[in-house]
Amino acid sequence: MFIILPRTQIAVNTPSATDRVLDLGLRETAKLSKRRRIEGAARVVFARKGFRGATVREIATRARVASGTIFLYAQDKQELLLMIVNDDLDKLTDARLPRTNGRADLVDRLIAFYRPRYEYWARNPEMSRDAMAEMAASHSRLEARPESARGEARRAKMATRLRQILSESKQTHRTERDADRDAVAKIVMSIYFTEVRLWLNDAIPNPETGLERLRRLFRVAVT
């Protein structure tokens, strides 16, 4: 014997498209909230204990999540550190290019571009040193990891921003006679990454001191 249910009853038991969208939105909101708690907890623990002294268990406890939940967002402690730095540096990279005097030369424009990064690294030198070491290590790793991939994507975006600076500089045509903008952008980035690591080894990294060293090297390079 078959029982035919009324159409209205079947409709009530079937989730609508709107319900599915709302459910998905709630899940994504909850996931984002957990990620923020984990990132916030990692910042505090890294600042208090240092990168080497921090543990995933302590970060999880502070974030009010199970230790296993951490690994849904980051594979290990190194990825947690890179998550923090990537979030911060992505904002700097996506920000509008700093305004400079219309008569500013190429070196002045480059220093204006890198100034926010030096100021960022100087806020927490110990964590910055660890972050730089992990960024260098992740750049050389063969396996693909989410936060490492974010770092590589940002490098590409930085190169694009630098090419924009080069194209707007009054020295562009003189520069292009010797090398194309892609090559110059790579040289500028190499100088920055090398010099900022050396500067972070100072007992108290001063952004002005670091930027003056960077300025001298950029001046030699563009000359």
- Same structural domain for residues 105 and 64? no
pLDDT of residue 128: 94
Q: What is the pLDDT of residue 37?
A: 94
Same domain, 149 and 171: yes
Domain edge (last residue) among 55, 73, 91: 73
Please report where in the chains the tokens 């079937």 appear, as a residue: 14
Q: Within this chain, do residues 68 and 118 fall inside the same structural domain, yes or no?
A: no
| 106, 162: one domain | yes
Q: Check whether residue 205 and residue 116 sit in a common domain.
A: yes
Confidence at residue 96, expressed as pLDDT on a 0 to 100 scale: 79
* Cα separation values, 192 from 48, 66, 217, Å: 28, 39, 9
pLDDT at 9: 47
Domain that holds residue 154: 77-222
> Any alpha helices (H) in the chain, and if so which ranges?
7-13, 17-53, 56-63, 67-70, 77-94, 106-123, 125-140, 146-168, 172-178, 181-200, 207-222
Position 6 in a domain = no
Q: Specify the CATH number for the domain of residue 67.
A: 1.10.10.60
Split into its structural domains, the chain has a count of 2
Residue 79 pLDDT: 92
Same domain, 155 and 54: no
Residue-by-residue pLDDT tens, the chain, 223 positions: 445 445 544 444 556 655 555 565 777 888 888 999 999 999 999 999 999 999 999 999 999 999 899 999 998 999 999 999 999 999 999 887 766 555 678 999 999 999 999 999 999 999 999 999 988 887 776 567 888 889 889 999 999 999 988 888 755 545 455 458 888 899 999 999 999 999 999 999 999 999 999 999 999 988 8
4 occurs within a structural domain: no
Q: What is the reported pLDDT for 11? A: 46
Residues 85 and 23 in one domain: no
> What is the domain-level CATH number for residue 180?
1.10.357.10
Domain limit, last residue, from 5, 40, 73: 73
C-alpha span between 175 and 177 (Å, rounded): 5
CA distance 165 to 170: 10
Residue 97's pLDDT is: 72
Specify whether 199 is located in the same domain as 157: yes
In a domain, 33, yes or no: yes
